[in-house]
Amino acid sequence: MSGQNKEYIIIGGTTTVTLLTKDSIWMAADSRETSVENKKIVGARLHLKIIVCNNIFFTVTGSWGTIRDDKKVVRFDAKKIIINTIDKYKNFDSSFDNSGKTISEELNALWKDMPDDLKEELKGNLNGKLVEVMMVCNDRGLFYKAFDIGLVLNNGVYEFVSIAKPLFVNNIYMTGFSKEIHKVIDSPDFAFDIERIKETLVELIELEVKANPDKVGGTVDVVNIYKNGYKWLTKNVY
């Protein structure tokens, strides 16, 4: 089927905040997933965005979390790729490296069949973030890594690549919509109150809900991760 005849529904959105404390890591995420077709919102649903698989916790953020074609067939699903990769390798470093590799490979294969207008839109966002992944492991310690998937021009060829990201500026790492949160946490007067971390994480994400209601929304889920254990502070059923 030619690229011109196929329409893709791009499913994404989200804001996540990850906080590093002395003995644990906190992850928080909104629950809205927005579907966009031809730059128009065509649907939304709520679901849990902090995924737990074999002692690895991860979030997927960005405009390209899932892609369906005009027959509603899922052509790309970053979350499913990561779960399958973790199940295969059962090792944090290997799961991290191969998740980024496999996501890039699947998007590069999909590129050949993408509509031309979507390709042009992507080229206009060259080197931008399409998918952002944060991963935390609590098996015999606390480990964390993050990568972005972006489109680059390499020797005249457009390709999707995985790029490892530096983490935790002032012990905080965010993915997705974060402009309003930055206005708060970049203030020299801002500090997390250790007694109300959950409440502060929820309040920060709700700032993005107010600013981007079409892409960020629903309830906020929060989990506290520590060595060999974790506790949900808020976990909603969708």
Instruction: Tell me how far apart the alpha carbons of residues 122 and 186 are, in angstroms, rounded to a whole number.
Output: 30
The yes-or-no verdict on residue 26 having pLDDT over 90 is: yes
Query: Which of 28-37, 70-79, 203-212 is the least confident region?
Result: 70-79
Instruction: Tell me how far apart the alpha carbons of residues 211 and 178 are, in angstroms, rounded to a whole number.
Output: 10
The reported pLDDT for the residue numbered 11 is 65
The yes-or-no verdict on residue 8 having pLDDT over 90 is: no
Instruction: Tell me how far apart the alpha carbons of residues 127 and 161 are, in angstroms, rounded to a whole number.
Output: 9
SS3 at position 195: helix
CATH class of the domain at 8-233: alpha beta
The reported pLDDT for the residue numbered 37 is 74
The reported pLDDT for the residue numbered 13 is 73
Per-residue pLDDT of 46-93, as tens digits, reads 889 999 999 999 999 876 677 777 666 778 889 999 999 999 999 999
Is pTM, for the whole model, over 0.85?
A: yes
Percent helix, strand and coil across the chain, each rounded to 5? 30, 40, 30
